[in-house]
Amino acid sequence: MYKKNKQRQMATAMHRYHLQPTSTDDSIASNFTNPMRMTSTSSSLNRPVEMCIFLRTGNVYEFTLDNGGMVTASSLQEMMLETLEMTEEADDVFYIWLTSPLLKLQLKPNHVPLKLCRQWHDLLEKFTNATNEQIAADEPCVFFQRNAFYPKHKELQITDEKILRLLFCEAKEHVLDGVYGCENDEYEYLAGILAFIEHGKYDSKKHTPIFLSLSSETILPSRLCRRRSQKTSQRASQKLSKSFEVENRVLSHWKQVSSIVKCKADCHKNFLEFLWKMPIYGSVFFTGEIEQANAGKSIVGNNLKLVYIGINRDGVYIMDLRKQELLLGLLYDDLSWEYTDQNPNDEKSLPCLWLEFDATEGSKKVSKLLRIYSKQAPMMNGMIQACIVELNNQDKESLTPRPSEHDTLERVACGLTSTISRTRSTTVQARSASHRIGHDTVDGAGIARAKSLDGRSRAYMTLPSRKPKVTLCKKMDKLCLSTFSETGDLITKKTKLSRPFSMTGIFKL
């Protein structure tokens, strides 16, 4: 997540670049009043434009774009790959984003960043609940970061240290922002790796619980950090250290890491390797609201819980924004969804994303329904549809026979392909888990377990073995759900519905 104080840190690695644009959109005219930010000040199309592109490493690259008001995202992508001297592999791993504290957008190749910049406040009004003051103060920055649609099973095979470092820096931000919903012990383990990266090898004389607490903001989420005065006496430190349970556990991990790891690159790899096993990794996060469970009579607009909605190629995840707690995780094979637009007769109504999934109550199978209110519901719906298309294409590729087998397996392949392509009206597919993950093996929770091509363990696994909690979460008691029987009959209704509802009416099973 972008933070304003990040800009003050991004003062290194400046580069200039001259580009002749390929687009011919004469309706665009933008310039920058501050090279560290994008602004929407009109200017002549022929005037060079100063643009800064940020990395999650903290570096920023400054470019001079000739006729910059017509430069596309694909052109900026090529510039960054050339400037960073990255391999062709990085072309698929990273892409151009426009991000601000209020909104984050991955651009398409033909998008013109400066044009979108001029429309930024309109986009904020359409897709956020920000106040007029917040919208007026918000400005987007151009980032070169992970492509949201890059397959995880391909990322597991990356060995390029430059690519891994960029992926690590982005993943670190998500961990410190708490959007992955890790458990406390998982944060402590990852903090031990980060401590080695930040401060080097563990030194018992220097690296005390007090030392760690004073610098914990760089290795732990804010909710696990505590602040202590640097003037604390040695005697007081000894007393306080007894209560530093989190810091002591992080120190233990740090010590263990220091006894094994030789360089930061190993830490980058192992940090990512831990997160790759988590279903939520690589998600794009949207904001929304759900009704509070056990809140009595709920009125739309009141008793709502703020949530993050994480969406990636594997599934959809609901995160309690305030508690940074994962409430619900669903793979695409386990859910149906529907998007409903804003009620045209009610200005206060919001677009909704509906999630339906199966559950068991006692010995009976039932369907649960969750409604998410959000101005970003159209974006969520589009993201899910795009992921489904990618997965369908991947499934079809995995079913394509080799040339030598084409004649004998043609009918079989056509039959399987037609089966895969039959979907619900919500475009949810009944796919095999092995096809969804690709060539990696899959455990009972549907999580990819990466292996090298020859089947042996990867050479980079140098840190102590530790498994993250990868079971998909369904905390029913913390969600306000409607329950339906297998025949679609309403059993309990906890959400306040603005119109008559039936399972067949929404999802058309």
- Tens digits of residue pLDDT in 117-143: 989 999 999 999 999 999 999 999 999
> 302 CB contacts (<8 Å, ≥6 apart)?
none
Could you give the angle at which helices 264-276 and 184-199 cross, rounded to 10 degrees? 160
Q: What 3-state DSSP class applies to 49?
A: strand
CA atoms within 13 Å, Cβ hemisphere of 46: 0
Q: Quick one: CATH architecture of 165-276?
A: Up-down Bundle (1.20)
Cα separation, 502 vs 509, whole angstroms? 11
Q: What backbone phi and psi angles, to 5 degrees, belong to 33?
A: -90, -20
Identify the band that residue 70 occupies on the pLDDT scale cut at 50, 70 and 90.
confident
Sign of CA dihedral 365, 366, 372, 377: positive
What pLDDT, on a 0 to 100 scale, did the predictor assign at position 12? 35
Using alpha carbons, select from 148, 509, 149 the residue that is nearest to residue 336.
509
Query: Of all residues in the chain, what percent carry a pLDDT higher than 70?
Result: 67
**DSSP letter, residue 71:** -
What pLDDT, on a 0 to 100 scale, did the predictor assign at position 451? 33
Cα separation, 143 vs 418, whole angstroms? 40
pLDDT digits (tens, 9 = 90+) for 446-483: 333 333 233 333 333 456 657 787 767 777 777 877 77
Residue 227 CA: distances (Å) to CA of 216, 223, 247, 248: 8, 11, 12, 15
What pLDDT, on a 0 to 100 scale, did the predictor assign at position 401? 62
Cα separation, 348 vs 262, whole angstroms? 57
What pLDDT, on a 0 to 100 scale, did the predictor assign at position 445? 33
What CATH number belongs to 284-398+424-429+475-507? 2.30.29.30
What pLDDT, on a 0 to 100 scale, did the predictor assign at position 399? 73
Q: Average of pLDDT values for 35-53?
A: 60
Q: In degrees, to the nearest 5, what angle opens at C-alpha 462 toward C-alphas 456 and 463? A: 125
Domain residue ranges in the chain: 5-147, 165-276, 284-398+424-429+475-507
Q: What backbone phi and psi angles, to 5 degrees, belong to 84?
A: -80, -5
Identify the band that residue 311 occupies on the pLDDT scale cut at 50, 70 and 90.
very high
CA atoms within 13 Å, Cβ hemisphere of 281: 25
Using alpha carbons, select from 68, 74, 29, 41 the residue that is nearest to residue 52.
68
- Tell me the pTM: 0.75
Q: Higher model confidence: residue 393 or residue 382?
A: 382
Res. 41: pLDDT tops 90: no
Identify the band that residue 294 occupies on the pLDDT scale cut at 50, 70 and 90.
low
Tell me which H or E stretch contains 420: helix 406-421
Question: Which of 48-52, 181-185, 189-193, 258-262 tops mean pLDDT?
Answer: 189-193
Could you give the angle at which helices 184-199 and 245-258 cross, rounded to 10 degrees? 50
Identify the band that residue 344 occupies on the pLDDT scale cut at 50, 70 and 90.
confident
Cα separation, 280 vs 445, whole angstroms? 13
Res. 52: pLDDT tops 50: yes
- 21 within 8 A of 66, measured Cβ to Cβ: yes
What's the whole-number average pLDDT of the chain?
74
What would the two tokens of residue 103 be?
Answer: 């909104």
Identify the band that residue 8 occupies on the pLDDT scale cut at 50, 70 and 90.
very low
What would the two tokens of residue 167 be?
Answer: 């992926």
Using alpha carbons, select from 367, 373, 376, 344 the residue that is nearest to residue 424.
367
Res. 398: pLDDT tops 70: yes
What pLDDT, on a 0 to 100 scale, did the predictor assign at position 60? 95
pLDDT digits (tens, 9 = 90+) for 218-268: 999 988 886 544 444 444 444 444 578 889 999 999 999 998 888 999 999
Q: Quick one: CATH architecture of 5-147?
A: Roll (3.10)
